[in-house]
Amino acid sequence: MMVKIFDVSMRIEEGMPVYKNKPEKQPNIRVVQDFDTAPARESRIDIDVHTGTHVDSPLHMLPEGGTMETLPLERLVRPCRVLDLTGVDGGITQADLEKFEIRSGEFLLLKTKNSFKDEFDFEFVYLAEDGARYLAEKKIDGVGIDALGIERSQPGHPTHKTLFRADILIIEGLRLKEVPEGNYFMVAAPIKLVHTEAAPARVILLQGIGE
């Protein structure tokens, strides 16, 4: 059985794309000990928990929401489906999603034009409020997108809140350029942080499992 591995995570490095290009969101990586003064090399990193590919917990938008340790890993290591939405500009709406025959319990990854841009785009494709309501009505289990935010320019953050209130998990910052539309087995492993509203994650997709 041939299993193909797609690493759909962003590289974490200084100068990487960060939300709205804010300097304070850049990771700071420095060597604190090197071979000129010690027998081993060690580095230290200062990083925002929403850096690169990451998983949000409900506390990100809901004061009563749960933190990262409330998200069962079983919901992030599971089958998923990549939807090709590369023809969409602006917000992904219910009309854009209806053609995919979405089923209850699915984990969906939204592949858009975002995956073909290496720099932060202030006009990135996002999930519109009515698209989020549609996914909530369909009772999906989770959704990921290839943008550093699942929404933009929506006062009150209705997309996040609609998804969280429907107990839908959110992954942001995916890189899906090389991934064809279809079914995969996903391993999305957020750093094991506690008491936070997000955590960086290494996300891989496996094609060929069970075939």
167-188: average pLDDT: 98
What is d(CA 183, CA 42) in angstroms, rounded to the nearest whole number? 40
As a whole number, mean pLDDT of residues 168-185 equals 98
pLDDT score at 210:
57
Q: What is the pLDDT of residue 160?
A: 97
Whole-number pLDDT of residue 1: 67
Q: What is the pLDDT of residue 209?
A: 80
Q: What is the rounded CA–CA span in Å between residue 119 and residue 117?
A: 6
**Candidate list 60, 157, 160, 195, residue with the active-site label:** 60
Domains of the chain: 4-11+48-207 (3.50.30.50)
Question: What pLDDT score does 178 carry?
Answer: 97
Please indicate whether residue 60 is annotated as part of the active site. Answer: yes
Tens-place pLDDT, residues 77-134? 999 999 999 999 999 999 999 999 999 999 999 999 999 999 999 999 999 999 999 9
Half-sphere exposure of 50 (CA within 13 A, CB side): 17
CA distance 97 to 27: 35
Name the residue among 190, 155, 187 with its Cα closest to residue 68: 190
Give me the residue label for tokens 């009309």: 95
Mean pLDDT of the chain: 96
pLDDT higher than threshold 80 for residue 16: yes
Neighbouring residues of 1: CB distance < 8 A, sequence distance ≥ 6 = 208, 211
pLDDT band of residue 211 (cuts 50, 70, 90) is: low
Strand-pairing partners, residue 91, are 126
Q: Report the Cα–Cα distance between both ends of the chain, in Å, rounded.
A: 7
d(CA 97, CA 125): 14
Across the range 186-199, mean pLDDT stands at: 97
- The predicted pLDDT at position 44 comes to 96
Q: For 29-71, how does the pLDDT look when each residue is reduced to its tens digit (9 = 90+)?
A: 999 999 999 999 999 999 999 999 999 999 999 999 999 999 9
What's the chain's Rg over C-alpha atoms? Answer: 18
